Amino acid sequence: MVAFELPQWTALAPALLLALTALVLFVFDSINPRSTNRPVVAGIATVGSLASLAVAVWFIVVGVGDPDRGGVIDVFGGQFVVDQMALFFMVVVSVVTALVAVASYDYMRDHAYQAEYYSLIVLAATGMATMSAANSLVTIFIALELASLPSYALVAILKNNRGSVEAGLKYFLIGALSSAIMVYGISLIYGATGHLQLEAIADNLDAAEEFGGILGLGILMLIGGFAFKTASVPFHFWAPEAYEGAPAPVSAFLSSASKAAGFVIAFRVFTEAFPLAETTAVIGVDWTLAFIILAVVTMTVGNFAAATQENVKRMLAYSSVGHAGYALIGLAGLGAGSELVLGAAMMHLLVYGFMNTGAFLFVALAEYWGVGRTFEDYNGLSVQAPIACVALAIFMFSLAGIPPFGGFWSKYFLFVGALEAGLFIVAAALVVNSALSLYYYSRLVKAVWIEEPVLERESLAQPTGLYAAIVVAAVMTVVLLPGFGPVVDVAIDAAATMLG
Amino acid sequence: MMIEALIAVALIGALVTFVAPNRIAGKLAFGISLIPAALSLWMFAVFDGSGNALLDGDLAFESQMEWIQLGEYSISWLVGLDGISLPLVVLTTVLTSLAIMSSWTPIDERESQFYGLVLFIEANLIGVFAALDFFVWFIFWEAVLIPMYLLIGIWGGPRRKYAAIKFFVYTNVASLVMFGAFIALIFGLDVGSFALPEIADAMLDGGPDGFAGISGSALASIAFVALFLGFAVKVPVVPFHTWLPDAHVEAPTPASVLLAGVLLKMGTYALLRFNFTMFPEEVAAFAIPIAAIAAISVIYGAMLALAQTDLKRIVAYSSVSSMGYVILGLVAYTQFGVGGATFQMVSHGLISGLMFMAVGVIYNATHTRIVSDMSGMADKMPVAVGILIAGAFGYMGLPLMSGFAAEYFIFFGAFGSEVLEYAPVFTAIAMFGIVIVAGYLLFAMQRTLFGPYRLETDYEVSRAPLHDIAPMFVLLGLIIALGVAPELIFEMITDAVDPILELGGDA
C-alpha cells in the first residue's frame, strides 16, 4: 500500500494539508494584502479542506490505522497516532470546514479581512484535526490551544458589532480559565504517574497508587477542560453567548467541528490513559460515573433551556448543549466495555456535523437576508425560499431524531448502546429529551412553513455559496440514512480498536 | 425490484413536482402518480404470492439486501407483498392519483409544494405496506407524519395549526411507545435480526427470554399492550380518537382522503401484522378488552357522528366506527373475521375517500359544511349529490357495495369466534352501530340535499367540473366492483390470513 512506503509522518496528511492551506492563505495575504478577492481566498480554504477530506476518506478506505491491515501508526515517538478514530474525526472536521468555507463566501461578503478570516478558520481546523490524532497530554493541550486561539478571534471578528466582541471576550475568558484548569489537571496527572504519553500513563497507573487522590483530582480537572470544549454542563455557559454573538458560520463551525474535536480527545484519553478497572483501583471511583451524571444533566439542561428560547440562534446553541449530552453517552457507556456505544457517539458526531452545521448555516442565510432573530421573524420564509426551508425542515427533524433522517440512526444507536451497557436511566433520559426536543425543533419548522409572515418582505436573494452549503448538508443528512452501513462499520471498528 | 420502482417513482416524482412551476404542478403530479398506479395494478394482475408474509409464505416481488450490521443485529432492506399487503398498496396508489385530481380545484396556492408532499406521502405509504424489516418499516411509518403535518398545517382550515400539532404529537408519542416496546422485545428475543418473519418465528417458537429483570411472558404481555396502544392511536379507537376529527376537519380535502383512506389503515394493518400475528396467546388473553374497545368505538363513534352539525365531521367520526368493525373482525380470529377486517380496510378506504371528495366538492361550491345552512343541494349539484348518496349507502352497508360485503364478513366471522368469549354479545352490540350509522347519514342527507334551496351566499353554486367528478366515479366503480365480486381480493386475503389462524384461531 502506498501509504506505508512514505515516511510515517505523512499519515498525518489530513491535518498537514489544512496547515498548508492556512500557510497558502498567509502567503496570498502577504503578497496581496487587504485583498478582497473573495473567490480566491474562499476557494483556497474550500479546496484545502476538501483535499484534507479526500485524503482522510482515502486513508480510511485503504485501511490506514486498521489493526487488521498494518495497524495504528505512531508518529513522532507516539506523540500522535493515526488510527481509524483519528481519521474518522478528521473527516468530520474537514467536512464542516468545507461547508463553512463555502457558506462564508456570501456571509463575509462586505468584510474587510477576507484572508485573515479564512486563515483563522483553517488554522482552527488544523488544531481540531491535530486534536483527533494527539496521543499525549502535551500534544493534546497544544492542539487544543491551536484550535481555541483562532476561535476566540473568529467569534469577535465582527469588530463593529458589540455582540460579537462581547461574545469573543466571554469566550476567551472562560476558555483561558478552563485551559488553566486543564493544564493544572495535566500537571497533577504527570505528578502522580510521571508520564504524559497516554499509553505510558496507563502502564504506570500502579506507580500512582499512593497519589490516588492527586490523580483523581487531575482527572476531574481534565474532565473540566473537555466539558468546556464540548460545551457540556457545567462549563456550557459560554456556548449560547458565543454562538449567538459570533457570525453564524463561525457558530456552525464551533458547535459542530470544535465539539467533535473535544469529544475525540475525551474518547482517546479515557480509553487509552485511564483504563476503567485499573484507574478505579487507584482512585477509588469509577470515572464513568462522572460521565453518566454529566450526560444526563447536560442533555436535560440543554433541552429545557432550548425549549424556552425566543431567539433562534440561542435555541440552536442550547440544543447543541443537549447534543453534547447525547454524545457523552459514548463515554458513560464505556463501563460495559461495549464498542457499540462509543461507535454510536462517533456516528452521532458525524451526523451532527451535517445537520447542526446546516441549521446554523440557515441562520446565517437568515442573517444575510436581515430577517431578524426570533421565531416570529422567521415566519413564512418558505414562501420566498422553499428550497432552503425544505433543508431547514430536514435539519430540524433530523436533530429531533425522526426518521427517515440521519439523526434518527445515530440516536437510535446511542439508545441501543446505552441499553446494552445497562444504563437504563441514561437511555430513558435520551428518549424523553428527544421527545421534548421535538417541541422546539418543530416550532421552527412551523414558523417557516405554517405561520404567515408578520410583515411583508421583498423577494429574497439566493446567495450561491450559502445555498450550496445548505443543500449539500441537507442532502448528506438524508443520504446518510441509506449509506449508513459503511459509516457504522468504520465507527464500530474504530471504537473496537480504542477499547481493544 | 417492482416495489423499489413504485417507491422510487413516487419519491423522484415528489422532488420533480416540488421544484416545478405552480401552474403545471397538479397535472404533472397526476401524470407521475399514474405510473405507480398502473404498475401496482399490473402487479395485482400477475400476483403469484401465497401464504402469509410473516409465516413462511411465498412473497411476491420480494427483494432482500443486507444493509447494516450493528453489533449482533442486522438490518436489511426486505420488502415483499402477500395477499394482505397487495390490496392496500393498490389502494394507496389508486387513491393517491384520484386525490391529486380532486385537488385541482381546491388547492390554489403553493401547488408545487402541495403535490410534492402528496407524492412523498404515497412513497412512504407504499413502504409501510411493503416493508418486512422492522427498521425499514418504522422509517416509512414515521416519515408519513412529516408531510401530513405540513399538509394540514399549511393548506388546512382556520384551526389548522392546532390540528397539525395535535396530530403530530399524538401519533409521534404513540410511535415512541410502540418503538420502545418492540426494541425491548427484540432484546429479549435474541434473534439478531430485525426481519419481521424471523421475529415472528422467534415469537411463535417460545417467545422472549427475560430482559432487564422482566420475565419473558411479562415482557411479551407488556410489548403486546404497548404495541396495541401505539397502533390504536393511529387507527384510531376510542379513547385515542380525539386527534382524528380535528385533523380531518382542518385538513384540505385531498389530505382527508389520504388520511381516512390510507393512513388509518396503517394502524389496523400494523395491528394485524404485529399483535394478531406474533402474539396469538396474548390475543386470546386480551380478547375481551379488545372486543370491548372495538364495540365502544363503533357505538361511541356513531353517536358522536350523530351529534355533529358539520358534514365533514360526520364523515370523520363515522371513520371511528368503521375502524371499530375492523378491530372486532381482527379479535374474532376467524377466517371471515380477520379476512373481513382486511377487506374492510380496503372498502373503507374507498368509501371514505369517496365521501370526503363529495363533501369537498360541495364545500368548494357552497363554502359551508354546516348541515343546517344547506338545503336543496340536489337541484344545484345533481351529480355530486348523487355520488354523495351512493357513498352514504356504501357506508351503511347496502348490498352490492363493498361496505356490505366487508361488514357481512366481519359479523359472520365475529359471531362464530371461538377465541373471543361472549362473541355474539359483542357482535350484536357492534351491529347496532349500523342502525345509528344509517340514522345519521340519512338524516344528514335529507337535510342537506333535499327540500327547497335556501343557501345565502355571494358565490354562484353550480355543477362541479368534470375533473372533480371523475375520480369519484372511479371510486364508486371500485366500490361496486368489490361489492358484487368480493372474491376479487377476498381470496388472496384469506390465503394470507389462514396461516395466522392456524396458530391459535380456527381457520
Structure confidence by residue, pLDDT tens digits, A453-484: 877 777 788 899 999 999 999 999 998 877 77
Q: Give Cβ neighbours of residue A430 (< 8 Å, ≥ 6 apart).
A: A299, A326, A329, A411, A414, A415, A418
CA of A397, closest CA in chain B: separation in Å? 9
Report cis status (omega within 30 of 0) of the bond before B424: no
Relative orientation angle of helices B287-306 and B423-449, to the nearest 10 degrees: 20
Could you tell me the pLDDT band of residue A280, with boundaries at 50, 70 and 90? confident
Instruction: Name the maximum alpha-carbon separation found in chain B.
Output: 72
Please provide residue B209's backbone torsions phi and psi, each rounded to the nearest 5 degrees.
-80, 175
Please count the other Cβ atoms lying within 10 Å of the Cβ belonging to residue A15.
Answer: 29
Please count the other Cβ atoms lying within 10 Å of the Cβ belonging to residue B506.
Answer: 12
Best-predicted range by mean pLDDT among A7-11, B60-64, B460-464? B60-64
Please provide residue B286's backbone torsions phi and psi, each rounded to the nearest 5 degrees.
-100, 15
Whether residue A217 lies within 8 A of chain B, CB to CB, comes out as no
Q: Give Cβ neighbours of residue B341 (< 8 Å, ≥ 6 apart).
A: B268, B272, B325, B326, B327, B328, B329, B330, B410
Percent of chain B at pLDDT exceeding 70: 98
ipTM of the complex: 0.86
For cell 470544535, the residue is A258
**Using the beta-carbon criterion (under 8 Å), do B160 and A450 form an inter-chain contact?**
yes
pLDDT of residue B66: 86
Mean pLDDT value of segment A479-498: 82
Mean pLDDT value of segment B238-261: 89
DSSP bridge pairs for B211: B214
Nearest to A386 among B113, B143, B160 (CB): B113
pLDDT of residue B506: 43
Mean pLDDT value of segment A227-234: 87
Q: With 70 as the cut, is the pLDDT of residue A373 above it? A: yes
Whether residue A431 lies within 8 A of chain B, CB to CB, comes out as yes
Structure confidence by residue, pLDDT tens digits, B486-498:
999 999 999 999 9
Q: With 70 as the cut, is the pLDDT of residue A1 above it? A: no
CA of A271, closest CA in chain B: separation in Å? 19
Nearest to B67 among A382, A403, A485 (CB): A485
Whether residue B67 lies within 8 A of chain A, CB to CB, comes out as yes
**Mutation to test the A interface, candidates B67, B121, B139, most A Cβ within 10 Å:** B139
Q: With 50 as the cut, is the pLDDT of residue A65 above it? A: yes
pLDDT of residue B12: 95
**Residues in chain A within 8 Å Cβ distance of B161:** 446, 450-451
Whether residue A440 lies within 8 A of chain B, CB to CB, comes out as no
Mean pLDDT value of segment B266-290: 93
Whether residue B69 lies within 8 A of chain A, CB to CB, comes out as yes
**Using the beta-carbon criterion (under 8 Å), do B172 and A488 form an inter-chain contact?**
no
Mean pLDDT value of segment A91-102: 95
Q: Which comes out higher in pLDDT, residue B323 or A278?
A: B323
Structure confidence by residue, pLDDT tens digits, B117-161:
999 999 999 999 999 999 999 999 999 999 999 999 999 888 888
Helix (H, G, I), strand (E, B) or coil at B110: coil
Q: Sign of torsion, CA A222 A227 A233 A234?
A: positive
Q: With 80 as the cut, is the pLDDT of residue A25 above it? A: yes
**Residues in chain A within 8 Å Cβ distance of B79:** none
**Using the beta-carbon criterion (under 8 Å), do A383 and B110 form an inter-chain contact?**
yes
Could you tell me the pLDDT band of residue A348, with boundaries at 50, 70 and 90? very high
Q: With 70 as the cut, is the pLDDT of residue A235 above it? A: yes
**Residues in chain B within 8 Å Cβ distance of A379:** none
Q: Count chain A–chain B contacts defined by CB atoms under 8 A.
A: 75
Q: In chain A, whose CA is at the least distance from the CA of B66? A: A485
What CA–CA distances, in Å, run from A63 to A58, A71, A84? Answer: 8, 9, 8
Percent of chain B at pLDDT exceeding 90: 54
Q: Which comes out higher in pLDDT, residue B29 or B181?
A: B29
CA of A388, closest CA in chain B: separation in Å? 12
Q: Single out the residue of B333, B229, B336 nearest to residue B283, CA to CA.
A: B333
What CA–CA distances, in Å, run from B362 to B109, B110, B342, B376? Answer: 20, 23, 31, 12
Whether residue A475 lies within 8 A of chain B, CB to CB, comes out as no
pLDDT of residue B504: 60
pLDDT of residue B199: 92
**Using the beta-carbon criterion (under 8 Å), do A340 and B70 form an inter-chain contact?**
yes
Structure confidence by residue, pLDDT tens digits, A100-135:
999 999 888 888 888 899 999 999 999 999 999 999
Element (H, E) at A325: helix A312-332
Nearest to A419 among B140, B172, B187 (CB): B187
Helix (H, G, I), strand (E, B) or coil at A379: coil
Per-position b or e across A263-296, b if 16+ CB within 10 A of its CB = bbbbbbbbbbbbbbeebbebbeeebbebbbebbb
Mean of per-residue pLDDT scores for chain B:
90
Q: In chain B, whose CA is at the least distance from the CA of A452? A: B154
**Using the beta-carbon criterion (under 8 Å), do B165 and A442 form an inter-chain contact?**
yes
Q: With 80 as the cut, is the pLDDT of residue A138 above it? A: yes
pLDDT of residue A243: 92
Rounded Cα distance, A323 and A311, in Å: 18
Could you tell me the pLDDT band of residue A5, with boundaries at 50, 70 and 90? low
